[in-house]
């Protein structure tokens, strides 16, 4: 539960869901520690889904606390990490995404206002394709339709649990679905800085092909197509998926 310390000193738990991320997780944890996460008020929790590639060992060696999740699935892993977190603020981050260098100060400042409950950063990709730059440009608009997990998510712990956490039955678009529920328990803040996320999936699948697939999945989701159908569509159309 949150304590009474000033917002500037708010504790932060960084929660990273992983599955077969041995090639990425060590560098990410080292980056986070180099930019403030090594301080006593911050913990790095890697919620690993029994990765067979040694992700857990790499993360632990880099300085993270590894949580072995009983269930695979990003929503379930994020909730598992949040249950083990001890901090006032939760920061959910993908294993292939780097937040801005002063991300901790930005998060603490954003949530210093008690009316603020949650928020995220804008997005940029690490691949200079014009269409990806255009897609990232649209993340400056505060619309739930444009909110995805790659942008990371910070939230007060009490707000996260008041909203009910991530819906674990959702394997697709669980990161977008939660935003509307979070807004009911506090204001949502879209910060002007951007996280940098890997475009590896775009390079593997083709930029336009993958963007079309994501658009199709969003449309089917808002048409209330059942999750099993969305998951089958995802697996059929996206190479190197980790669902």
Instruction: Give per-residue pLDDT as tens, 199-214.
Output: 999 999 999 999 999 9
Compute the distance between CA of residue 17 and CA of residue 75 in angstroms, rounded to an integer.
Answer: 9
Instruction: Give per-residue pLDDT as tens, 114-167.
Output: 899 999 999 999 999 999 999 999 999 999 888 888 999 999 999 999 999 999
Compute the distance between CA of residue 232 and CA of residue 229 in angstroms, rounded to an integer.
Answer: 5
On the 0-12 / 13-18 / 19+ scale of CB atoms within 10 A, 228 is exposed
Tell me the whole-structure pTM to 2 decimals.
Answer: 0.93
Residue 37 CB contacts under 8 Å (≥ 6 apart), including other chains: 12, 14, 29, 44, 104
Specify whether the CB–CB gap between 112 and 187 falls below 8 A: no
Q: Tokens 């892993």 belong to which residue?
A: 77
Compute the distance between CA of residue 74 and CA of residue 168 in angstroms, rounded to an integer.
Answer: 8
């Amino acid at each position: 539960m949150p304590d009474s310390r000033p917002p500037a000193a708010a504790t932060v738990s960084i929660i990273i869901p992983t599955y077969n991320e041995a090639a990425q997780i060590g560098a990410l944890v080292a980056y986070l520690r180099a930019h403030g996460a090594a301080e006593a008020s911050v913990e790095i929790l890697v919620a690993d889904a029994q990765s067979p590639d040694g992700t857990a060992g790499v993360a632990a060696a880099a300085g993270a606390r590894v949580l072995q999740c009983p269930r695979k699935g990003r929503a379930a892993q994020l909730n598992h990490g949040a249950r083990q977190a001890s901090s006032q603020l939760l920061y959910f981050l993908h294993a292939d995404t780097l937040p801005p260098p002063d991300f901790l100060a930005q998060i603490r400042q954003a949530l210093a206002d008690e009316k603020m409950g949650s928020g995220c950063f804008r997005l940029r990709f690490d691949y200079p394709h014009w269409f990806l730059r255009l897609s990232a440009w649209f993340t400056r608009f505060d619309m739930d339709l444009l909110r995805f997990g790659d942008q990371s998510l910070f939230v007060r712990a009490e707000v996260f649990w008041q909203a009910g956490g991530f819906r674990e039955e959702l394997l697709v678009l669980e990161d977008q679905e939660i935003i509307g529920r979070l807004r009911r328990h506090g204001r949502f803040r879209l910060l002007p800085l951007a996280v940098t996320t890997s475009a590896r999936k775009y390079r593997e699948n083709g930029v336009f092909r993958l963007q079309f697939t994501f658009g199709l999945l969003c449309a089917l989701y808002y048409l209330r197509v059942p999750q099993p159908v969305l998951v089958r569509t995802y697996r059929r159309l996206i190479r190197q998926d980790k669902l």
